Amino acid sequence: MPRKFTLWNLTPPQILVLGFAGIILLGALLLMLPVSSTDGRMTPFIDALFTSTSATCVTGLVVVDTSLHWSIFGQIVIISLIQIGGLGFMSMATLIFFLTGRRISLKERLLLQEAMNHGSMDGVVRLFRKVILYSLTIEGIAAVIFTIRWSFDMPFGQALYFGMFHAVSMFNNAGFDLFGQISGTPFTSLTLYANDFVINFTACALIILGGLGFMVISEVVEYRKCKKLSLHAKVVLSMTAFLIVAGAVIVFIFEYTNPRTMGPLPLHGKILSAFFQSVTPRTAGANTLDIGGMRQATLFFTIILMFIGASPGSTGGGIKTTTFTVLVAAMISMIRGKEDIVVYRNRLNQNRIMKATTMTLLALFMVTFVSMILSTTEPYHFLKILFEVTSAFGTVGLTMGLTPDLTDFGRVMIALTMFAGRLGPLTLAYALQPKPEKEMYRYPEGKITIG
């Protein structure tokens, strides 16, 4: 007799997929309401669904300008979706359980473990408490800094609202901004502050902290007491630093004389913008330079950074820095003729190598497939489409200006890509596959010539 379909019978990946889908649908219905738009009219369902998906998946791709189209109510809905999507809906549900005094069950601990990409259930509730504490603390400090800086440019009440909105948006690597109403031009982002040290430094700090992952932040905070870091934290910190520094140098070289981006900026503005444009592809989505004006070499390099993305257990997407590190380590070991793959004097389990390879191949297949489909349905240059698809998969939010001009079909495809990128290809695969059965036999070993 088949089992009755209930929420309890669903696996953690399936619950995560359904949970995120439910939040996106609820957000879309709220954004469709006339009260959510500045002109008091209903927003088309496709536009509302796209915006809700982008906010919940902390991406930042938008079909309408956030400040010019959405009312205060609509903006509050968007920033709420960003906070829920960044921390994970299970984190928000667990917070409610804590506030109401309800005990966290084993099933809910398994869900938290899956949502936070934590290695085991041990300490997962304790980690959740730190997630909430660190998030609110970091966002609060950044909001104060933003408010003080913007109070010189606008009324204090507006500066306070801008500070709170952008602190949440940047820390959760969402990339939504409200500067369209300041410049009068839609999709302005932070281009008005390309030379501003305070804005650049604060925004970059938020993006980096949000992309490191809460487990790593916890280890760094407690380092003075423990005097040691896990292998995971070492890999995340070192690879993050390498990608940021290498990215800044490459962007600086490629764009230094470009009259459409860095060319008109003073030297300190060039350095700040190069650093910012190296940090933001780590799934942030904000920009201080005109993305559409960049040279093709810079755009392709940005695509690579977006594909790699942030780190596990963070608010960012992509294949993750740890996956990229494992692949590089495997390549080096193979070239050197080593049997074991070693990182920081630790041998990696073969299962980790297989998982990293599977994750990367699934991501490549997804980006390639969606790019091929959109290159057929959308009349735009392939690099533009590839940039948009990779940005959606990595939940980055950077765009060459293609998003508002997409067809309804194109918007649906990009929305699905954002959804898959936020949850991760493996989580989606686990959610969609039937319950695995243990095989009672093994096939004989075969040999294939490689290379």
Averaged pLDDT score across all residues of the chain = 85
Average pLDDT over residues 327-344: 88
**Is 0.85 topped by the overall pTM?**
yes
- pLDDT band for position 449 (cuts 50, 70, 90): low
- Of residues 292 and 35, the one with the higher pLDDT is 35
Are 57 and 173 contacting, i.e. CB atoms less than 8 angstroms apart? Answer: no
pLDDT beyond 90 at 342: no
pLDDT classification of 350: cutoffs 50, 70, 90: confident
- Is the predicted pLDDT of residue 83 greater than 70, yes or no? yes
For 291-301, letters b (16+ CB in 10 Å) and e give beebeeebbeb
Pick the range with the lowest mean pLDDT from 145-154, 198-207, 312-321, 393-402. 312-321
Closest to 67 in 3D by CA, of 55, 75, 79, 57 = 75
179-228: pLDDT as tens digits: 988 887 888 888 889 899 999 999 999 999 988 887 888 888 888 887 78
The average pLDDT across 36-53 equals: 94
3-state secondary structure of 166: helix
CB-based contacts of 271: which residues, under 8 Å, 6+ apart?
252
pLDDT value for 450: 63
How far apart CA 231 and CA 220 sit, in angstroms, is 13
- The pLDDT tens digits for 144-166 are 999 999 999 999 999 999 999 99
Q: What is the DSSP string of 331-356?
A: HHHHHTT-SS-EETTEEPPHHHHHHH
Mean pLDDT of 87-110: 57
* Res. 5: pLDDT tops 50: no
Q: How confident is the model at residue 24 (pLDDT cuts 50, 70, 90)?
A: very high
The pLDDT of residue 10 is: 67
DSSP codes joined into one string, 19-69: HHHHHHHHHHHHHHSGGGBTTS-PPPHHHHHHHHHHHHTT----SS-HHHH
Distance separating alpha carbons of residues 321 and 237, to the nearest angstrom:
9
Q: What is the pLDDT confidence band of residue 1, given thresholds at 50, 70 and 90?
A: very low
Tell me the pLDDT tens digit for each residue of 227-248: 788 898 999 999 999 999 999 9
Query: Higher-confidence residue: 118 or 32?
Result: 32
**More confidently predicted of 76 and 450:** 76
Q: Which residue has the higher pLDDT, 222 or 376?
A: 376
The answer to whether 442 and 25 have CB atoms below 8 angstroms apart is: no
* Residues 177, 420: Cα–Cα separation, whole Å: 23
Which pLDDT score, from 0 to 100, does residue 267 have?
92
Q: What is the pLDDT at residue 326?
A: 93
Give the DSSP H or E segment for 179.
none
350-368: average pLDDT: 90
Q: Which residue has the tokens 């209903």?
A: 42
Say yes or no to pLDDT of 107 above 80. Answer: no
Measured between alpha carbons, how far is 231 from 261 in angstroms, rounded to an integer? 39
Q: What share of the chain is helix, strand, coil (3-state, %, to 5)?
A: 65, 0, 35
Residue 126, CB half-sphere, CA atoms under 13 Å: how many? Answer: 7
Q: Which of 120, 114, 123, 128 is nearest to 18 (CA)?
A: 114
Q: At what angle do helices 408-423 and 12-32 cross, to 10 degrees?
A: 140
Select from 20, 121, 41 the least CA-distant residue to 428: 20
Counting residues of the chain whose pLDDT is more than 70, the rounded percentage is 84
- pLDDT of residue 279 exceeding 90, the answer is yes
- Please give the pLDDT value at position 396: 92
DSSP state for residue 177 in the 8-state scheme: -
Question: What does the pLDDT read at residue 427?
Answer: 64
